[in-house]
A = this chain, B = another copy of it.
Amino acid sequence: MVANLADNLARLLGDSKVLRGPAAERAYDCDTYTVDRSKPAAVVLPDCTEDVAKVVRWCNENSVPFTARGAGTGISGGVLPALGGVVISTKRMTRILEIDLENRLMKAQAGIPNKRLSDAVRPNGLHFAPDPSSQSVSTLGGNIAENSGGPHTLKYGVTTQHVLGMTMVTPEGEIVELGGRVSGSPGYDLVGLIVGGEGTLGVVTEAWVKLTPVPVGIRTATMAFATVRDATESVASIIATGTIPAALEIMDRYVLTALHAAFGLQFPEGTAALLLVECDCGPVEDPEGTVEREMQAVIGVCQQNNATEIRVAADEAERTKLWHIRKKGIGAMGRLAPSIVTHDGVIPRSKLPEMLDFVYAVATKHGVGVANIFHAGDGNLHPCFYFDDRDPEQVRKVIEAGEEITRRCVELGGSVTGEHGIGVEKVDMMPLMFSEDDLAMQALAKRIFNENGLCNPCKVLPNQKSCVEHQKRWRGTAW
């Protein structure tokens, strides 16, 4: 690595835009996937596209790897500086650049937290629809990298459906515009390729996003069940009626216990799973009538599936509280153990009952704790293993259990990741789903944009020998 790397960067950008030293190294050595860590040589804090391009060009000239980072709320190690080098933090790139209410569009810098996009236009009855649980901090750029979803993905779609265009610094340091402010941008859909590209195809610095009308009629309810199977079967039955609720979430007894302790969440004794359902409708329709009818249909299905209690949120305050609790679910589990690894897989919705049985069985077999809080409507699982990451034996078991679950998702016709990406965590899982020819196509796609492998190395597909070494190193530590 270049000597005086941080000094060089400080000369390039100004001293106030470069962090170095042990504190910076520790703060930027992982995301929430804490079982893998790697220190950066320096962290830069650009405030505009040109700054980013300068850094990327400098890295290319000096063969230094670089990794862009938003809020670091990812859970597959996507912002881990796997081979050291420079972390490009977007935390000073938080400006809204243009709001076009008439055409329902907004342009903002990549480092803006997701929720601030919505806050800016809520007085106009609009919002940015993707709503990851981390939305108060997780950034637009991070959401683009991971193609983030959230509870309302079921009805409103994931990030890729809400991004129209972007300014990106290519892995070689050129500034390009992809897409634009209207849909149907001509030529190849490079926007779609970059969204979900996990930051390996360039550094997105600004983006045009769609704004969606805030629903006017909303009903939110929780349904308690004595078995997880009753809850998962309700989900399949609700969707089978043709209704698409805005959200259909499940929390199991382990999550509920933590949420009871943290926020006083109430539920009947003996509850094995709580279903959280939201129905909504657009601003012109009659909220009282339409949404009430939809919710009654959902309630009817839950009653047939042996719901033990059904509570409809009485007002907006109660509704907001329910969502606050849901979104803090994983945080609340911090009480259960020092470390939590949230897994992410997706299966056809109809396989949920059998898959959940499998998740509990695997956890029992390995003797690790598991809690489930997930987007049931999408068939998107999030088994959370809680453990002590200071004990290598526990770490090994958690990794093994996670891999078994991931394999099962694939066997059931699903995928190794629902919305949290491959990162470093699941690089080894790709061959479960893809043939050599399929992976060769993926590798080609990576290589066009990232020929020398400096841009966020070792993610999605391992692209150089040093990645294998990095992996051996951390797995060696953990196992």
Q: Which residues of A contact B (CB under 8 A)?
A: 100, 102-105, 125, 147, 149, 157-158, 160-161, 170, 174-178, 180-190, 192-193, 195-197, 201, 213, 216, 236, 239-244, 281-286, 289-290, 293-294, 297, 346-350, 378-380, 413-419, 421-422, 426, 429-430, 433-435, 437-438, 441-442, 444-449, 460-461
Number of identical protomers: 2
CB distance from A193 to the nearest CB of B (A): 5
- Cβ–Cβ contact B184 & A418, under 8 A: yes
CB distance from A362 to the nearest CB of B (A): 20
* Chain B residue contacts of A160, Cβ below 8 A: 189, 192
Interchain CB contact (< 8 A) of A286 among B188, B290, B347:
B290
Q: In the bound complex, what is the Cα–Cα distance between A347 and B185 (angstroms)? A: 11
- Cβ–Cβ contact A435 & B187, under 8 A: no
* Chain B residue contacts of A241, Cβ below 8 A: 283-284
* Chain B residue contacts of A416, Cβ below 8 A: 186
List 21 A–B pairs whose Cβ atoms lie within 8 Å, in order of A's numbering.
Answer: A104-B239, A177-B434, A177-B438, A178-B441, A182-B346, A184-B346, A184-B419, A185-B415, A185-B433, A186-B433, A187-B422, A188-B197, A188-B201, A188-B445, A190-B445, A193-B445, A241-B284, A242-B283, A243-B282, A285-B293, A290-B290
Chain A binding site: helix, strand, loop or mixed by DSSP?
loop
Q: In the bound complex, what is the Cα–Cα distance between A239 and B216 (angstroms)? A: 15
Q: In the bound complex, what is the Cα–Cα distance between A437 and B446 (angstroms)? A: 18
Q: In the complex, what residue of chain B is closest to A168 when comparing beta carbons?
A: B441
- Which 3 A-B pairs give the minimum distances between C-beta atoms? A192-B192, A242-B283, A103-B348
CB distance from A380 to the nearest CB of B (A): 7
- Cβ–Cβ contact B460 & A187, under 8 A: yes
- Cβ–Cβ contact B284 & A346, under 8 A: no
